[in-house]
Structure 1
Amino acid sequence: MCRNIKMLFNFDPPVTDAEVRNASLQFVRKISGFNKPSKANEAAFQAAVDGVAAVSTQLLAALETHAPPRNREEEAAKAKARGANRFRPETA
């Protein structure tokens, strides 16, 4: 799965429409292989982004959990630490 697609469920504050749309765009880019589609494919590409965003919004609204909502800042800090660890230069 594309690393740029972020988990959107169970956050405080809740996910925004823009975040769902951005994740949908990343998903469609990944499966289509297009970063920016040609004019001939633009309508199909945008329709796919709209469809994925709509289904994603429905999914997020239907999901339930008993876990407390995650804090966005804490999750961002954890992701940044994981990234720093992953890309840390190796020492000999």
Structure 2
Amino acid sequence: MKTLFNFDPPATEEEVAAAALQYVRKVSGSTHPSQANEAVFEAAVAAIAAATQELLDGLVTSAPPKDREVEAAKAKARSAQRFGTGD
């Protein structure tokens, strides 16, 4: 999961939905629900996305917003250090 709070520009609706989907997949243990579970799976994704957006909208900070490109570069560097560069 990646952090969605305190970025400029703010997290998009798509990013919030993707995080909600990732959460529901992890909790349910299923990447693709059966037809019998599809409705409850999708309802959970929608509810978690709404709760996540409400959380992000309500959080406050005095820290300056983070730059997405800088944070992505830091994550890439941490990954390379942790897992190697493949060379």
Q: Tell me which interval the TM-score lies in, with the shorter structure as reference length.
A: over 0.9
For residue 63 of structure 2, the aligned residue among 67, 74, 79 is: 67
Secondary structure of the equivalent of 2:37? helix
Mapping of residues 11-90 of structure 1, within 5 Å: 11-88=7-84
TM-score norm. by structure 2 comes to 0.95
Structure 1 counterpart of 2:35, which letter?
K
Q: Percent identity?
A: 60
Question: When the two structures are superposed, what TM-score results if normalisation uses the length of structure 1?
Answer: 0.90
Looking at structure 1, the residues matched to 38 and 82 of structure 2 have their Cα atoms a distance apart, in angstroms, of: 36
Q: CA RMSD in A?
A: 0.9
CA apart distance, 1:88: 1.4
SS in 2 for 1:50: helix
Kindly indicate which of the two structures has a greater share of residues assigned to strand: 1
Q: Could you give the per-residue CA deviations for residues 41-63 of structure 1, whole angstroms, max 9, x where no partner exists?
A: 00000000000000000000000
Q: How many residues align?
A: 85
After TM superposition, the runs of 4+ consecutive aligned structure 1 residues lying more than 3 A away are none
In the alignment, the residues of structure 1 paired with residue 2 and residue 42 of structure 2 have an alpha-carbon distance, to the nearest angstrom, of: 20
- Gap runs ≥5 in structure 2: none
